[in-house]
Amino acid sequence: MSDRLLGQVAIVTGGGGAIGAAQSKLFAAEGASICLADNRIDAAKLVADEIQQAGGNALAVELDVRDAKGWKDTVNIAEDSFGPVGILCNNAGANFRVGFLEQTEEQFKQIIDVGLVGSFLGIQAVVPSMKKIGNGVILNIGSLASIRAGGGPGYAAQKMAMVGLTRSAAQSFAKDAIRCVILSPGHVDTPFLRGNNEHSPNDWDTSIDNLDNYNHRLKATPLGRLLDPDDIAKAFLFAATDEASMITGSMITIDGGAGM
Ligand SMILES: NC(=O)c1ccc[n+]([C@@H]2O[C@H](COP(=O)([O-])OP(=O)(O)OC[C@H]3O[C@@H](n4cnc5c(N)ncnc54)[C@H](O)[C@@H]3O)[C@@H](O)[C@H]2O)c1
């Protein structure tokens, strides 16, 4: 525990998920107060409890990131509990791993709505809070699909569009000392790739429980192991601190070389 984020307030979407939970725990250990926002409130509560038990400040809020009113309520709760919000981590995401011609319009729209529209709404909701402080950091999660096609049509479109959203926010709010960065993980061992979740269904053909799929992703990672959520959280921490004070509008890849 040190104090690289002492006194900061962060909203972390997908805080009940693997990468969001790792960020939340690391940011809290560095002194930030964390508002974990997730539509799976029970998962977010478990992480908030763990942080509190370790002596940190955290609360869980039920939020569907597609809901603009829900975003306003979330920011109000975070401000009332901890003060103005200086850090936003947009992690919430969805994917349906089917072929281009098989992906339904509903699936395509859900991927875009959760990942892209949800992040847009989050930025709109949180920037006024950042302006109260006089600075802020918005950290959007990308993917290898932010660099090249992958993960199906909806996912490829959503993750590539995050680059544009990041640059637009970075350009719009630089005058307010608000930075915006996209961080793109490679193959991270999480329920997103392993489990059969509503937001990210997997079966034997797609799950990394299937060793063939696991080894395929391993082989695609030159540094020789799949990433774990802490690898991603450490890069988010760097991007959130003043060590990254002149980094905005750009992408940081954390992928063991998979995107080369
Ligand atoms: N795991 C990987 O290999 C990998 C690689 C690159 C990028 N990513 C991205 O990382 C992010 C987090 O993924 P993860 O691996 O931690 O998976 P995860 O499934 O553990 O976490 C995803 C979280 O998003 C939440 N979520 C989904 N829809 C939501 C909604 N409408 N409103 C609020 N929350 C919602 C889920 O409840 C879950 O807690 C995703 O955006 C994913 O695309 C993951």
Asked if 155 is an active-site residue, the reply is: yes
Q: Provide the whole-model pTM.
A: 0.98
Beta-bridge mates of residue 33: 9, 57
Cβ(191) – ligand 1 distance below 6 Å? yes
- What's the whole-number average pLDDT of the chain? 97
Taking only the tens place, the pLDDT of each residue in 60-107 is 999 999 999 999 999 999 999 999 999 999 999 999 999 999 999 999
Q: Are 14 and 39 in contact (CB under 8 A)?
A: no
Q: Are 146 and 159 in contact (CB under 8 A)?
A: yes
* pLDDT band of 1, cuts 50, 70, 90: low
Distances (CA, A) of 108 to 17, 103, 152, 197: 21, 7, 9, 16
Atom of ligand 1 nearest to the CA of 193: 1
Taking only the tens place, the pLDDT of each residue in 183-196 is 999 999 999 999 99
d(CA 140, CA 121): 12
d(CA 206, CA 93): 17
Distance 175 CA to ligand 1 centre (A): 31
Cβ(92) – ligand 1 distance below 6 Å? yes
Cβ(23) – ligand 1 distance below 6 Å? no
The reported pLDDT for the residue numbered 224 is 98
Q: Which of 71, 82, 155, 236 is catalytic?
A: 155
The neighbour count for residue 197, using CB atoms within 10 Å, is 14
The residues spanned by each domain of the chain are: 9-254
User: Which residue do the tokens 């975070």 mark?
Assistant: 78
C-alpha 155 chain-centroid distance: 14
Domain 9-254 maps to which CATH number in 3.40.50.720, 3.10.180.10, 3.40.50.1100, 3.40.630.30? 3.40.50.720
